[in-house]
């Protein structure tokens, strides 16, 4: 139960940072309106670093939970409970971000495009090509999870893991995030997407569940399998 609470709380905090920074960038009357993608990606990156410093070796990601189960780091019996806790945490984090920025959502009702408001919560490509979008998310997730596991195997004893994971997220976001928004995590996308569906936000855009369920919903799992195979058979890492 303590591990499940860690997954719930850490994922919720990650989403609070992530959805919060997109609120800052997009919504009217915030202190950091229009701050741009570098500001957003940096906040995501070091928000994840903060979560790891606080909660330790959490997954915060169903794809990471799958990868760790394949490698024997966590038991298979933990995979579904971890995934559910992460989805619940992501949903709760998005609701909390909305509560904190509710006045700014109201101030933006008639001036901010509905798609831009939706994209505060979920990832979506500017150029929609589902096969390519799926491959992008799979490749990014493979790099992401392989990088984290390599960091843990080589640098955990020095205590650098949270900072190095943040730098990895920053690099992936800057180099690979311009196509799909680099979800790499089902909970990160689908939990906040569901929150957007039910929140009392006016002038909503279509929530695009087709994209959400197909691309960020499945591609990270494929990336998790590839990452597990890469670190086990090529890098030959042990945990």
Tens of pLDDT, residues 48-97: 999 999 999 999 999 999 999 999 999 999 999 999 999 999 999 999 99
Question: What domains are there in the chain, each with its CATH number?
Answer: 1-238 (1.20.1080.10)
In the prediction, which pLDDT does 156 show? Answer: 87
Report yes or no: 87 and 12 within 8 Å, Cβ to Cβ. Answer: no
Report yes or no: 43 and 15 within 8 Å, Cβ to Cβ. Answer: no
Cα–Cα dist 7/85, whole Å: 6
Residue 170, classed as helix, strand or coil, is helix
Report yes or no: 93 and 14 within 8 Å, Cβ to Cβ. Answer: yes
Q: Is 29 exposed, middle or buried (0-12, 13-18, 19+ CB in 10 A)?
A: exposed
CA distances from 38 to 25, 96, 136, 177, 192 (A): 11, 23, 20, 11, 21
Which tokens sit at 205?
A: 């855009």
- By percentage, how much of the chain surpasses pLDDT 90? 97
Tens of pLDDT, residues 108-143: 998 999 999 999 999 999 999 999 999 999 999 999
């Amino acid at each position: 139960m303590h591990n499940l609470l860690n997954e719930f709380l850490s994922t919720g905090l990650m989403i609070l940072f992530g959805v919060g920074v997109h609120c800052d960038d997009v919504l009217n009357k915030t202190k950091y309106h229009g701050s741009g993608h570098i500001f957003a990606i940096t906040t995501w990156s070091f928000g994840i670093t903060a979560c790891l410093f606080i909660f330790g070796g959490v997954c915060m990601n169903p794809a990471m939970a799958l990868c760790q189960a394949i490698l024997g780091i966590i038991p298979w019996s933990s995979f579904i409970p971890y995934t559910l806790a992460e989805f619940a945490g992501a949903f709760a984090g998005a609701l909390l971000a909305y509560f904190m920025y509710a006045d700014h959502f109201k101030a933006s009702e008639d001036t901010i495009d509905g798609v831009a408001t939706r994209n505060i919560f979920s990832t979506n490509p500017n150029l929609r090509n589902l096969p390519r979008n799926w491959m992008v998310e799979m490749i990014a997730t493979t790099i992401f999870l392989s990088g984290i596991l390599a960091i843990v195997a080589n640098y955990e004893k020095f205590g650098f893991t949270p900072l190095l994971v943040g730098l990895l997220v920053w690099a992936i976001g800057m180099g690979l995030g311009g196509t799909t928004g680099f979800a790499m995590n089902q909970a990160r996308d689908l939990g906040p997407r569901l929150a957007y569906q039910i929140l009392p936000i006016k002038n909503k855009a279509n929530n695009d569940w087709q994209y959400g369920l197909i691309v960020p919903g499945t591609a990270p799992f494929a990336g998790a399998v590839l990452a597990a195979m890469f670190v086990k058979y090529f890098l030959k890492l042990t945990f």
